[in-house]
Chain A
Amino acid sequence: MHPLIKYVLQRVALALLVVWVGITITFILSRLMPFNAAELFISRMLAQGHSLTGEEIENMKKQILELYGLDKPIIVQYAIFLRNYMITGEMGPSFAFFPSNVKDIIGKALPWSITLLLLASVISWLVGNGLGVVAALTKHRKISSVLENIAIAFQPIPFAVLALSFLIFYLLVLKLPIPGAAFVSITSPFEMFIYMLRRASFPLLVLVLFGWFGGFVGMKAIALKMREEDFIVYAFLQGASTRSIRFMIFRNSILPQFTTLVLGISRVFVGSLLVEYIFNYPGIGYILQSAIANADYNLMLGILFFATVATAVAALILDLVYPLIDPRIRYPGQG
Chain B
Amino acid sequence: MRARPSDYELVIPHTLPAVLSLLAQEPGVWLPIAGGTDVMVQYAAGKLDRRKLVSIWNLPELRRIDVFAAEIQIGAGCTYTDLSEHEVVNREFTLLSRAARWTGGIANQNRGTIGGNIVNASPAADSLPALLVYEAELLLVSARGERRVPYTEFHIDYRKTQIAPDELIRAICLKRRFPEYYAHARKVGARNAQAIAKVCLAALGRLADGVVEDIRLAMGSVAPVPLRLTGTERIVKGNRIDSWLVQLARTTATAEVQPIDDIRSSARYRAAVAGNLVAEYLEQLERCRNET
Q: Do A and B come from one complex?
A: no
Interface residues of A (CB under 8 A from B): none
